Structure 1
Amino acid sequence: MLQSYRHLIRARWIMVLAGIVTGLAVAAVVVATTPPRYASEVTMVLSPTASGTASSSYDGETLATQKAKSYTSLLDPDLLARELAADPSLPPGATVVPGDLSLTLQPDTPVVVVRGTAGTPLRAQQVVQAVTRRYELTVAEFERPADPAARPVLTIRTVGPPTLNTAPVTPRPALDLALGAVLGLAAGLAAAVVAERRRRPIRSVADAEAVLPVLGSVPARVQSADCLRPGGTETLGEDVRRLRARLGVRRDGQPGRVVLVVSPSPGDGRSTVAAALAAAWARTGARVVLVDADRTGPGITVLATGVDDADGLTDVAAGRTGLRRVLRSVPGTGLTVLPAGTDPPPGIDLPASLAVRSVVTELGRSNDVVVVDTPAVGDSGDALALASWVDEVVLVARRDRTSAIALTGTLRAMTEVGAHPAGVVLTAPRGRRAGRTPAPDPLPSADDGDGHVTEPPTGTVPDRTIVRAGPGDPDPALTPLTRSQYESRA
Structure 2
Amino acid sequence: MDVRDYLRAVRRSWWLVLLAVMVSLGVATLVTVQTKPRYVASVTYFVTVPNQGVSEAYQGGIFMQQRVKSYTDLLKSDRLAQSVVAKNPLGLTAEEVQARIGASTVPDTVLLRGTVTDTDATRALRLTEAVSAQFVELVKAVETPPEGRTAPIKVEVISGPRVSSVPVSPKPPFNLSVGGLAGLLVGIGLAVLRTRFDNRLRDAVGLQRATGSPLLGEIPFDPAARTAPLIVGDAASSPRAEAVRKLRTNLRFVDVHEPARVIAVTSALQGEGKTTLSCNLAIALAEAGWRVALVDADLRRPKLAEYLNLEASVGLTDVLLGDVSVGDVVQRWGDKSLLVLPAGSIPPNPSELLGSKAMADLLLVLRESADIVVIDTAPLRTVTDGVVVAVQADGALVVSRYGRTDRGQIAAAAQALQSVSVRMLGCVLNMAKLGRAETDQYESYRIDVPPAPAAAPAERTGPPAAATSSGFFGQERAADPTQELTRLRR
Which category describes the TM-score, using the shorter chain as reference length?
0.5 to 0.7
8 A contact 2:38–2:169 mirrored in 1 = yes
Report the alpha carbon displacement of residue 119 of structure 1 after superposing the two structures with TM.
Answer: 2.2
Alignment match of 2:383 (pick from 382, 385, 400): 385
Alignment match of 2:251 (pick from 224, 232, 240): 240
Q: 2:26 aligned with 1:34, yes or no?
A: no
Aligned positions of 1:372-411 closer than 5 A: 372-374=375-377, 384-386=382-384, 389-390=387-388, 394-397=397-400, 403=402, 405-408=403-406
Higher helix share: 2
Report the alpha carbon displacement of residue 32 of structure 1 after superposing the two structures with TM.
Answer: 3.1
| Cα 1:169–1:236 shift into 2, 3 Å | closer
Task: Specify the code of the residue in structure 1 equivalent to 2:405.
Answer: L
TM-score norm. by structure 1 comes to 0.60
- Partner residue in 2 for 1:340: 343
After alignment, is 56-65 or 195-204 more displaced?
195-204
Aligned positions of 1:352-367 closer than 5 A: 353-362=348-357, 365-366=360-361, 367=363
Report the alpha carbon displacement of residue 115 of structure 1 after superposing the two structures with TM.
Answer: 1.9
- Secondary structure of the 1:30 match is helix
Report the alpha carbon displacement of residue 288 of structure 1 after superposing the two structures with TM.
Answer: 8.7
Aligned positions of 1:466-477 closer than 5 A: 466=458, 475=467
Task: Specify the code of the residue in structure 2 equivalent to 1:354.
Answer: N
Listed one character per residue, the Cα deviations across residues 198-234 of structure 1 (whole Å, up to 9, x for unaligned) are 99998864354465545231488xx988xxxxxxx99
Report the alpha carbon displacement of residue 64 of structure 1 after superposing the two structures with TM.
Answer: 1.1
Residues of 2 paired with 1:126 and 1:321: CA distance? 105
Report the alpha carbon displacement of residue 248 of structure 1 after superposing the two structures with TM.
Answer: 8.7
Alignment match of 1:270 (pick from 258, 277, 295): 277
8 A contact 2:330–2:465 mirrored in 1 = no
Aligned positions of 1:49-88 closer than 5 A: 49-53=50-54, 55-72=55-72, 74-75=73-74, 77=76, 80=78, 87-88=85-86
Identical positions, percent:
21
Task: Specify the code of the residue in structure 2 equivalent to 1:358.
Answer: L
8 A contact 1:467–1:478 mirrored in 2 = no
- Secondary structure of the 2:41 match is strand
Listed one character per residue, the Cα deviations across residues 28-83 of structure 1 (whole Å, up to 9, x for unaligned) are 42233222222212112222223221x311221111111112332x4485x65996
8 A contact 1:236–1:276 mirrored in 2 = no
Task: Specify the code of the residue in structure 1 equivalent to 2:111.
Answer: V
- Partner residue in 2 for 1:43: 44
Residues of 2 paired with 1:438 and 1:298: CA distance? 30
Task: Specify the code of the residue in structure 2 equivalent to 1:169.
Answer: V
Task: Specify the code of the residue in structure 1 equivalent to 2:105.
Answer: L
Unaligned runs of 5+ residues in structure 1 are 226-232, 251-255, 345-349, 376-380, 447-454, 456-464, 481-490
- Partner residue in 1 for 2:226: none
Residues of 1 paired with 2:98 and 2:352: CA distance? 77
8 A contact 2:105–2:113 mirrored in 1 = yes
- Partner residue in 1 for 2:123: 123
- Secondary structure of the 1:43 match is strand
Residues of 1 paired with 2:153 and 2:376: CA distance? 95
- Partner residue in 1 for 2:140: 140
Matched positions, count: 413
Listed one character per residue, the Cα deviations across residues 264-307 of structure 1 (whole Å, up to 9, x for unaligned) are 5449963268649999xxx9x9x9974353644647x83xxx83
8 A contact 2:45–2:156 mirrored in 1 = yes
Residues of 2 paired with 1:147 and 1:140: CA distance? 14
Listed one character per residue, the Cα deviations across residues 313-346 of structure 1 (whole Å, up to 9, x for unaligned) are 45568x6944746664989x9998532336x5xx
Report the alpha carbon displacement of residue 120 of structure 1 after superposing the two structures with TM.
Answer: 0.6
- Partner residue in 2 for 1:228: none
Q: 2:292 aligned with 1:291, yes or no?
A: no
Task: Specify the code of the residue in structure 1 equivalent to 2:120.
Answer: T
Aligned positions of 1:54-453 closer than 5 A: 55-72=55-72, 74-75=73-74, 77=76, 80=78, 87-89=85-87, 90-93=89-92, 96=96, 100-129=100-129, 131-132=131-132, 135-136=135-136, 139-145=139-145, 147-149=147-149, 151-173=150-172, 176=175, 205-206=204-205, 208-209=207-208, 212-218=211-217, 239-243=250-254, 260-261=266-267, 265-266=272-273, 270-271=277-278, 275=282, 290-293=295-298, 295-296=302-303, 298=305, 302=308, 307-309=310-312, 311-313=314-316, 321-322=323-324, 324=326, 328=330, 338-341=341-344, 344=346, 353-362=348-357, 365-366=360-361, 367=363, 372-374=375-377, 384-386=382-384, 389-390=387-388, 394-397=397-400, 403=402, 405-408=403-406, 412=409, 415=412, 419=416, 424-426=427-429, 436-437=445-446, 439-440=448-449, 445=454
Unaligned runs of 5+ residues in structure 2 are 1-5, 220-229, 233-243, 368-372, 419-423, 475-490
| Cα 1:206–1:8 shift into 2, 3 Å | closer
TM-score norm. by structure 2 comes to 0.60
Report the alpha carbon displacement of residue 107 of structure 1 after superposing the two structures with TM.
Answer: 1.9
- Secondary structure of the 2:163 match is coil
- Partner residue in 2 for 1:253: none
- Secondary structure of the 1:412 match is helix
Report the alpha carbon displacement of residue 136 of structure 1 after superposing the two structures with TM.
Answer: 3.9
